[in-house]
């Protein structure tokens, strides 16, 4: 049966935990193999990328495979070819699709009409590879997730959605602060809470930060939201993670950011470049987690 990595909640609890352990093992051993020898991964990127593209291309190379990178400008996607047609054609040529797109429905179409594994490298509704990498980064420092309090301060965006899904399978406490009107979807939040996730939401970022071991944020206006920048700056006033805000967290709290960061906006220069910041470990762990995800996709159960 073809396996896809589309959302964290679709993994199941055991697979989610296994991926963390496997990615850690791969990192510790600088793992290389020929699992993907003779295989190609087509990378369909409708959104520009640095970390996602380079980490995935390197991951495929470390597993013995090759990548083909395409944007809408370089394919029939830019000429309005139906996505279902693209899915069926690319399935005849390639062994895997790694997709960075806008709507989650695009991922679902590729899964439905194609017959090769699809990996969600980012949508507007979720960023599962990033959050799984972030969980690896936390696990390296605090193996027992029961002892962890994570704070999310900012937009109820794709990152927040994937954190909510992760809380279904990992027993950390998730304290989330959003400005009014920028909360995540109620349906997803309700679904996660019913599954046992320990999630607490507020409009006060200071409350979310109290006692947090890991403090997370993201840009206020994501790709495709640039025209909302000024309005969002007003809405997010008071949400910058600076030294005063970090002082509310646990004494040894670490700062996390998926990058790219807007210094002086969602995070101060002092915090971003300070001793609490672990953003570069996060960025590196994208590589190791994506190797684990690709291995999980290609290895039979």
Enumerate the active-site residues: 100, 127, 130, 218, 258, 286
SS3 69: strand
DSSP 26: H
222 marked among binding-site residues:
yes
76 marked among binding-site residues:
yes
Q: Are strands 214-217 and 173-177 parallel, antiparallel or unpaired?
A: unpaired
49 marked among binding-site residues:
yes
58 marked among binding-site residues:
no
287 marked among binding-site residues:
no
Q: In whole angstroms, give the CA distance from residue 69 to residue 74.
A: 9
190 marked among binding-site residues:
no
53 marked among binding-site residues:
no
Buried b (16+ CB within 10 A) or exposed e, 51-79: bbbebbbebbebbebebeebeeeeeebee
E strands, the chain, where?
40-45, 66-70, 96-100, 118-122, 149-153, 173-177, 198-202, 214-217, 254-257
50 marked among binding-site residues:
yes
257 marked among binding-site residues:
no
Task: Output the known binding site.
Answer: 49-52, 76, 100, 127-130, 158, 218, 222-223, 258-259, 286
Task: Output the known binding site for L-ornithine.
Answer: 158, 218, 222-223
Task: Output the known binding site for carbamoyl phosphate.
Answer: 49-52, 76, 100, 127-130, 258-259, 286
């Amino acid at each position: 049966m073809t396996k896809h990595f589309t959302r964290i909640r679709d993994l199941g609890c055991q697979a989610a935990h296994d991926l963390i352990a496997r990615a850690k093992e791969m990192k510790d051993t600088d793992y290389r193999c020929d699992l993907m020898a003779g295989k190609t991964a087509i990378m369909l990127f409708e959104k520009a990328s640095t970390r996602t593209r380079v980490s995935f291309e390197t991951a495929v190379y470390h597993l013995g495979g090759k990548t083909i990178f395409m944007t809408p400008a370089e394919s029939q996607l830019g000429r309005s070819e139906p996505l279902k047609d693209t899915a069926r054609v690319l399935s005849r040529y390639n062994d895997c699709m790694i997709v960075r797109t806008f709507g989650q429905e695009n991922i679902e179409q590729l899964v439905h009409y194609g017959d090769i594994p699809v990996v969600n490298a980012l949508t507007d509704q979720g960023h599962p590879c990033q959050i799984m990498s972030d969980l690896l980064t936390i696990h390296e420092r605090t193996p027992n997730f029961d002892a962890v309090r994570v704070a999310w301060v900012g937009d109820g965006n794709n990152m927040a959605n994937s954190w909510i899904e992760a809380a279904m399978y990992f027993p950390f406490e998730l304290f989330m602060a959003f400005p009014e009107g920028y909360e995540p979807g109620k349906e997803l939040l309700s679904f996660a809470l019913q599954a046992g996730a320990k999630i607490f939401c507020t409009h006060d970022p200071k409350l979310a930060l109290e006692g947090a071991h890991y403090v997370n944020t993201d840009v206020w206006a994501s790709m495709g939201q640039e025209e909302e920048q000024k309005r969002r700056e007003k809405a997010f006033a008071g949400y910058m993670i600076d030294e005063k805000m970090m002082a509310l967290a646990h004494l040894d709290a670490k700062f996390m950011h998926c990058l790219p960061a807007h210094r002086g906006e969602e995070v101060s220069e002092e915090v971003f470049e300070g001793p609490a910041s672990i953003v570069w470990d996060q960025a590196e762990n994208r590589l190791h987690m994506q190797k684990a995800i690709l291995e999980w996709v290609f290895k039979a159960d």
